[in-house]
Amino acid sequence: MQKVKFSLVLAAVTLMLTCGFVQKKGKWQNLFNGKDFSGWHAYNKQGQPISDKWQIEDGAMVLTGRGGGDLVTDAEFENFELEMEWKISEKGNSGVMWGVVEDKKYCCPYSTGPEMQVLDDAKHPDALAGKNGNHKAGSLYDMIPPADFSAVKPAGEWNKAKMKIDKGQGTFWLNGKQMVTFPTKGPEWDKLVANSKFKTWEGFAKFAKGKIAIQDHGDKVWFRNIRIREL
């Protein structure tokens, strides 16, 4: 009888430990320490110094002017939640991409990585381009417009953004509001790409695993409190 009880207890403990392991998500990791560019490098220039057009100011990484180049993480990610705060200058434009692959045949992160738009909707002309607002802040750029055009804060104010890419499904939030949700593979995704400017781009959205990128679009932009959790 004691052996039976011990076996049952052991089985129960094993089940609890196993379930706990399966359900436990990864821990949040800071992608930016607020002090320097550790963990980041210029696209296709790993090991080289980052341009002084990128600066650290009050715990934020700041593109101060055109020519800084796009930045990418040293690490690659596949299924994850990404959180950050961004602030754009007046008439400014930038973006955050995922699934980015570095290769000399690709000019830029947007050659391979889909984009969460960062924009001054009120004064940048790109807000009026595209279809149905799919170039506005919080959009899946040139593919799906944000659900709430009023969610974005004006130029010069901080916005809190979240991106989740997990097992074929993507979702963006801006200032606590869900902006877009979409498949990241399959027929529906293929249709989104086919109806976008990226339809003939060889490497666009072809890589499930890649780097996170922050865009130099020539306008001043700030990013801070960047963290990620692998799923």
Tens digit of pLDDT for each residue in 18-67?
333 343 468 999 999 999 999 999 999 999 999 999 999 999 999 999 99
State pTM to two decimals: 0.88
pLDDT band of residue 221 (cuts 50, 70, 90) is very high
Rounded (to 5) percent helix, strand, coil in the chain: 15, 35, 50
**Structure tokens, 122:** 């009120």
Length reported for the chain: 231
pLDDT tens per residue across span 115-129: 999 999 999 999 999
CB-based contacts of 210, cutoff 8 Å, min separation 6: 76, 77, 98, 99, 100, 101, 112, 113
pLDDT above 80 (res 7): no
CB-based contacts of 70, cutoff 8 Å, min separation 6: 42, 43, 108, 109, 213, 214, 215, 216
Q: What is the fold of 40-230?
A: Jelly Rolls (2.60.120)
Predicted pLDDT of residue 4: 40
CB-based contacts of 11, cutoff 8 Å, min separation 6: none
Predicted pLDDT of residue 11: 47
Predicted pLDDT of residue 25: 64
DSSP code string of 88-106: E-TT-EEEEEEEE---TT-
DSSP state of 59: T
The CA distance from 150 to 1, in Å, is 67
pLDDT tens per residue across span 160-191: 999 999 999 999 999 999 999 999 999 999 99
Averaged pLDDT score across all residues of the chain: 92
pLDDT tens per residue across span 91-106: 999 999 999 999 999 9
pLDDT above 90 (res 5): no
pLDDT band of residue 14 (cuts 50, 70, 90) is very low
